[in-house]
Structure 1
């Protein structure tokens, strides 16, 4: 098989076996090459990189494709099918018989591979990712490779950046009577926080016309401020994809929110991304090696998604794509990290999947819609009932992991409460939810504590050790039937889940404190997003201990045996909109070293010297906290050893 694939280096397309069933009609391999210089990864031995593309086609009349927006308006081939082509990247054991039989699929985040540096502690290459893993260093802890898993990535986002190893998918444009569709759209253009510090702004879509007819621009300083119209003399198209502010050289204030409504053209059929993931994974699991399948012998499939791609996987499940066209389950287990309670603005005409709703930015985009939880609940606003898990026999086993940030910014409490936050909602047996206490959205090893755009230093806590333990737990749940650790989240019953103004957070000198969380609003229209009247959904947040760290959840040694206060929130500082939640950042405030230092600063938190007589006492406390997590299967023994070693070297403790 390896010799067949190696012969395809010239990107010759090899027809897939049984295309009518597999829906992947051809694969092409550009490269098959040793990974990490041929290094051996335990019983699985050496790995190799397989890089290429997959072509597929969809039957618009198949009921399993009926939910794809505008699929019926896409061009069809001679067989009446809609075609797509997606990037494919595989790390597999050179000898398939030495592998575990488990496919681990990571849904890329805006085309990027996050597994290695967000979960496995590898240093990032660029763009917060390791998009082109080649070396042993790129593998980080190499946990899934040491377990013998085959790692797979494929593109699902049509506009993802494909440079430098980024992955995307090519999908058709929806047309009507042979002409591209034109419709009114809304773009939010943010200065400096999620966009360039100055114009031109890049539009999500191409404008359908060069004049200003049907278009309008407004600006506001804060999300809740009324929008102020920008006169027609204050802006112009640079080209169909950019917007200029006039007169030339006009600079928006950092963090300003511009809203541009205009007529756009040529919407891509973005929901094909869901079907492409479904069909590529189904093909890799089930097609015969003789038909070009580069991953023979796989028995189970797991999926991992972080942030945007975690929300993608939530919608993948909710919208019914975990059943392939042959009536088989696609993913046996899913681990979604830092997705909160939302989905993704993908499967819609003129969808914008790179948007993410926070208190300041993208606040009025359709990301958060009932049902939020894996538990079947009733929506008190609409009267509808529903659940993230469909109960149709194709649901995966589901682990959802969030940090404190997702409670403050992404409504994560709604995973385990009713929509109004009035009662706890027990999850079904096939689902678990976890909070990494006092963690923050961007947490990963080596995160600097610099303030950046925020008022407080950034939180350095990494949730990666928890993710590694839960990835193993999901693996064992799927392959051996060993149930994972019970959910560990703040609850109403225990008094650890509270409104944002009732956290009990201490008054700490020099720390700007958040008092409000990002609220969910029900929107009737993505272009004219006025919130619907009536009750709104009610996210809640974790209660804090006397140090300001979260009381409930998985308390890593940094929180159980603290040297600082860690939070999942931060606030913007001037010249940004001071007081608004600072995107998805967290805060960090170290303890004073001595009692005299803390008293001089007016700090109510006991100092390091008051807590730990010496480094030996501190190290022993860290070891106990780590071992308790190992017993609960929330930390791997190898990571407990890393914590012990780090405590022995920590010079913050005398």
Structure 2
């Protein structure tokens, strides 16, 4: 690798440190451009760690396409090279570090970005949802929420990995080259699924994932269907037009797409980026920051590295480890521990030509895009569907300690049961001692602090359960597992053996008049190409879902106080209502169904679930029940004591939900 001497260069008007890497040739980060170092939260002190600093800038990297560690990156041999025959990239970098490195914990916590966004503070640490900067540009103390990881002295790192993630509002991205052939950008056929109102704007035009290879394409086609299983209907050529290389407009001008209907546009696109470099860049940034050197912007030697991924970024981590990127080019482990949240059993559509990593497969939307493929589980298995044998973890000595946390939504939409069953769902499988799986009972995919229940596009009121308290406890458990060898709590998931994992038609959900109930899951389809997908016949994978109790609450899993001492039923599923495709699973939403206040009220509604008055004679009785549930969760290391005290205080003051 190209190595330079360390030097510092001061820039006018802003602190700008150019730090060429002085590391062994295998580090592959050739320079850092630090554009700002500034106090976080006005220099406020966090726990025993003291003040924190924000460090922002860029990392410049080079990789060798001939190195076996990089050979699996799609189109890497077609990427332009520099004078040294290496492929270059530049990625955004954001670090929160203790101002005094000696007071830090020695833990590097790397959060994989979700579509360029930081989720740690308001998805895990309960930062106020209205504080937009808590997502992408944390500056104030309130942006840190509970500040758990800062109080513990961790160094928090983010870097870009998705090339098309917007940098607006502080979003982060990576700059990677475009694959070329004979010096010209490659042209290929792509399929864009365009949906109005659920994952896209309600107004025209549609925005395309790729630049079209010209706007005069007689072979381009547009189809529409109301529901995913419906046959696609051609949209006449005179009813649509290119509104530019990245826009599609319905005609006549001003025509609005039908909410929730699936428009599929197949066209010739140009200029595929070498997106798989996102894996290598993540590997190399973390490997660089773990080294011991005076110029390390992480603030000194990092003794351990943990990774956190939420939804898309958790799926990134599943592929990152399975594809071998957790071994750096010096032959060392990159991440010692990983927590993947709400990822189901999927990967990310990244390492392919004309990849679309922002897609996410559900029962209605993006259903036939690459995401789910064997192996699903950390456990080694034989797959009767494909005849393959394998495991998500490689068993090569570089696997991290592994945690997967899912909500009920991922059982209905993301095949999460296949983490702990055989591919046909016939029997439970035991995870290796280095892996854990947890279900947040009653949880749903978007769960975080500060949500308000409304219906949106769904038939039922939407779920508001916040899984953050459980995630915080598990994050502490993961660090203790890595640092001290203290094993975390045993897996908490529904199982075939005890009857808590069942077919979607056999959940035991109580009949409540007027309630739209889900009875089917998102199927895991196999198809040879996403451009013109035709699902393969033969044996099919069999996702299963949690069985519920008389209230409709999942029996198995981590039952947070809202579920253990309920005031309503929380589910991980919801259904669309008109004008959306009524009856389809409502994206990744859940339902919240409050209990009636009195026995007379529930009987008048025909609701079999006990009323609040029948459950809790008074506020004190309710608070006592919450306190008992908290004590049990704390004892099992599934809830931190400080979070438990917050639950009890809310219960005693009547500030609980729903």
**Above 0.5 in TM-score?**
yes
Name which of 318, 325, 329 aligns with 2:329. Answer: 325
| Secondary structure of 1:43's aligned partner | coil
| Secondary structure, aligned partner of 2:69 | helix
Cα distance in structure 2, aligned partners of 1:437 and 1:5:
53
Q: Counterpart of 1:591?
A: 595
- Contact 1:595–1:609 (Cα < 8 Å) also in 2: yes
Residue number in structure 2 paired with 1:88? 93
Mapped to 2, the partners of 1:110 and 1:128 lie a distance apart of 15
Counterpart of 1:454 in structure 2 is 458
Equivalent residue for 1:256?
A: 261
Q: What SS does the corresponding residue of 1:243 show, helix, strand or coil?
A: strand
Q: Does structure 1 residue 175 correspond to structure 2 residue 144?
A: no
Matched, 1:77 2:91: no
Show the counterpart of 1:380.
384
The within-5 A match list for 1:176-255 is 176-255=181-260
Q: Secondary structure at the match of 2:158?
A: strand
Answering whether residue 347 of structure 2 is matched by residue 343 of structure 1, we say yes
Q: Secondary structure at the match of 1:600?
A: helix
The answer on 1:298 being equivalent to 2:302 is: yes
- Cα RMSD (Å): 1.8
Match of 1:567 among 571, 574, 578: 571
What are the superposed Cα offsets for residues 299-340 of structure 1, whole Å, 9 maximum, x if unpaired?
100000000101011110111100001110000000000000
In structure 1, how many angstroms separate the alpha carbons of the residues matched to 2:108 and 2:289?
9
Task: Tell me which of 136, 142, 147 is aligned to 2:147.
Answer: 142
Cα deviations by residue, 1:323-359 (Å, 9 ceiling, x for unpaired): 0011100000000000001000000000000000000
In structure 1, the partner of 2:560 is 556
1:579 corresponds to: 583
Q: 1:81 to 1:183 in 2, by over 3 A?
A: same
Structure 1 residue 390, shift from structure 2 partner: 0.3
2:275 pairs with one of 270, 273, 276 = 270
Matched, 1:511 2:524: no
Separation of aligned partners in 2, 1:422 and 1:79: 54
CA contact (8 A) 2:361 2:368 kept: yes
TM-superposed CA distance for 1:12, in Å, is 4.8
Q: The residue matched to 1:518 in structure 2 has which SS?
A: coil
Q: CA deviation at 1:651?
A: 6.3
CA drift at 1:249: 1.6
CA drift of 1:128 comes to 9.6
Contact 1:8 1:28 in 2 (8 A): no
Identify the match of residue 495 of structure 2 among 491, 506, 514: 491
Separation in 1, partners of 2:317, 2:620: 44
Return the offset for 1:460: 1.1
Q: Which structure 2 residues correspond to residues 60-139 of structure 1 after superposition, within 5 A?
A: 60-124=65-129, 130-139=135-144
Task: Provide the residue aligned with 1:648 in structure 2.
Answer: 652
- What is the total number of aligned residue pairs between the two structures? 653
Distance 1:535 1:126, change over 3 A: farther
8 Å Cα contact 1:420/1:537 also seen in 2:
yes
Deviations along 1:598-620, one digit per CA (max 9) or x if unpaired, are 11111111111101111111111
The residue correspondences of 1:416-455 to structure 2 (distance < 5 A) are 416-455=420-459
TM-score (norm 1): 0.98
Q: Decide whether the 8 Å contact of 1:160 with 1:167 is kept in 2.
A: yes
Query: Which of 618, 621, 637 does residue 617 from structure 1 map onto?
Result: 621
Match of 1:391 in 2: 395
**Secondary structure of the corresponding residue to residue 18 of structure 1:** coil
Q: Is the 8 A contact 1:302 1:334 kept in 2?
A: yes
Distance 1:6 1:372, change over 3 A: farther
Say whether the 8 Å CA contact 1:157–1:273 is kept in structure 2: yes
Partner of residue 31, structure 1: 36
- Which 5+ residue runs of structure 2 have no aligned equivalent? 1-5
The answer as to whether partners of 1:414 and 1:421 remain within 8 angstroms in 2 is yes
Cα deviations by residue, 1:561-587 (Å, 9 ceiling, x for unpaired)? 110011000011110001100000000
Displacement of 1:20 in angstroms is 2.4
Deviation at 1:123, TM superposition (A): 1.1
1:522: which partner in 2?
Answer: 526
SS of equivalent to 2:449:
coil
The separation in 2 between residues aligned to 1:349 and 1:381, in whole angstroms, is 26
Go from structure 1 to structure 2 and tell me whether the alpha carbon gap of 1:506 and 1:127 turns closer, same or farther (over 3 Å shift): farther
Could you report, residue by residue, the CA deviation over 1:42-88 in whole angstroms, capped at 9, with x for unpaired residues? Answer: 12111010011000001000000011000110000011000000000
Q: Which residue in 2 is equivalent to 1:286?
A: 291
Q: Match for residue 533 of structure 1?
A: 537
Aligned with 1:20: secondary structure?
coil
* Alignment pair present for 1:56 and 2:29: no
Instruction: Describe the SS at the equivalent of 1:583.
Output: coil
Q: CA offsets, 1:381-425, max 9 Å, x none?
A: 121101110001000001000000000001100100011111101
In 1, the alpha carbon distance for the partners of 2:422 and 2:614 equals 42
